[in-house]
Amino acid sequence: MDLSELELGQLGPGDLVYAAADIYNDGGIPDLAEDALIAAAGTRGVILNIGHLEEDPERELYLVRFEGADAELGPPAGCWPEELGTVSQRVPAEAG
């Protein structure tokens, strides 16, 4: 099985994911304006950690850093599984 066949639940820290849709700051990243675009659909990111909220231990939360336009990784962002995709589910990023 290659990486393109993996599902999100099979991935771990260090693996690549893609934003399934535009992801905006909900106020959780203090040095970034609320509602600022964190990652456009199709933007590549790397999983830093996988955990859950104390209030909802059954639901996974992914800590991801997405690649910026300058190829630098942005700040860590908490993402729900439905906000992410694997290589096989990648949505192409819009050409800028």
Q: What is the pLDDT of residues 13-66, one digit of tens each?
A: 999 999 999 999 999 999 999 999 999 999 999 999 999 989 999 999 999 999
Residue 83 lies in a domain: yes
Residue 28 lies in a domain: yes
- Please give the Cα distance from 46 to 17 (Å, whole number): 6
**CATH code where residue 31 lies:** 2.30.30
- Please give the Cα distance from 91 to 28 (Å, whole number): 25
Residue 45 lies in a domain: yes
Domain of 61? 3-89
Give me the phi and psi of 62, to 5 degrees please: -105, 130
Q: How many domains does the chain have?
A: 1
- Please give the Cα distance from 41 to 19 (Å, whole number): 5
Structure-token pair, residue 14: 């260090």
Residue 11 lies in a domain: yes
Residue 77 lies in a domain: yes
Residue 38 lies in a domain: yes
Residue 60 lies in a domain: yes
- pLDDT value of position 4: 44
- pLDDT value of position 93: 57
